[in-house]
Structure 1
Amino acid sequence: MFANLVNEKRSAYKTVKIGYSWTEMIFGFWTPVFRGDFKWASVIVLAEILFGSFTWGGGAFLVTFVFAFFYNRLYVGDMIKQGFKPADQNSFNVLKSYNYI
């Protein structure tokens, strides 16, 4: 499921994924890096280092698996705090039904 967000002040338009983040599970901290979300990229890297060092790397996979469940919600929440709004009624309904707004 996808939603469209628009920031009228910056004339920016983004399409965001709603729900489970498969890209986060597969690519780990690279997903927020490619999205320009360096705050969450650094949090994920630190968590992967912390948990991976105690478990010979297995904890890093566990971190990416857990973050995949809620990373899209965090990303959309940060976008809304930056001034983005749903671009249309359908996007508003999708975000509302998944409790993102």
Structure 2
Amino acid sequence: MRNPFGNGNDDDENQNMIPIPPNYATITKPETGEIRIAKVGFSFTSLLFNVWPSAFRGDWYNLLCMLGVQFALSMGLVMWSPIPLNQIEPMANWALGILWGFLYNMMYFKHKFNQGFVPADERSKQLLMQANYLKADK
């Protein structure tokens, strides 16, 4: 991944590479050369914006999974909760935001691995293995 801007501001350690924050991993699909860079760990964007980060990433599979869980939970709350919906909805939204914050980045990477993506470099591979997103090679 060479710096597409070519402005020469890269440090010697990255050898003309795009600087990537330490908690981001790079994955690539060898057949097509497609590259994805995403955060490993808690997703603050999913905490704040719920399912929208998956829509903006074009991650339709996980978007539909998340919407399905939210729909099922909403239906359960409407049917069985003795508390009025207008009182329980904000709590449910925050609970789901916290759930997606912890799970979404893992869901994204695991789905990409199922599509044939692999870590692009050793640093990304180690980061993904430490976060238990990727199993160690046998």
TM-score by length of 2: 0.66
CA distance, structure 1, for counterparts of residue 94 and residue 66 of structure 2? 11
1:1-101 aligned at under 5 Å gives the runs 1-52=23-74, 54=77, 55-56=85-86, 57-58=89-90, 59-101=92-134
Cα deviation for residue 10 of structure 1 reads 1.5
Number of aligned residue pairs = 101
Q: Which amino acid aligns with 2:122?
A: Q
% identical aligned pairs: 25
Q: Greater helix percent: which structure?
A: 1
Q: Name stretches of at least 5 consecutive residues in structure 1 with no aligned partner.
A: none
Cα deviation for residue 16 of structure 1 reads 1.3
Cα deviation, 1:41-77, whole Å, max 9, x if unaligned, reads 1232233344346343221221121121011111100
CA distance, structure 1, for counterparts of residue 68 and residue 35 of structure 2? 30
1:61 aligns to what SS in structure 2? helix
- Alignment root-mean-square deviation, CA: 1.6
Give the 4+ runs in structure 1 shifted more than 4 A.
none
User: Based on CA coordinates, which of the two structures has the bigger radius of gyration?
Assistant: 2
1:90 aligns to what SS in structure 2? helix
Q: Which amino acid aligns with 1:80?
A: F
CA distance, structure 2, for counterparts of residue 5 and residue 44 of structure 1? 23
TM-score by length of 1: 0.88
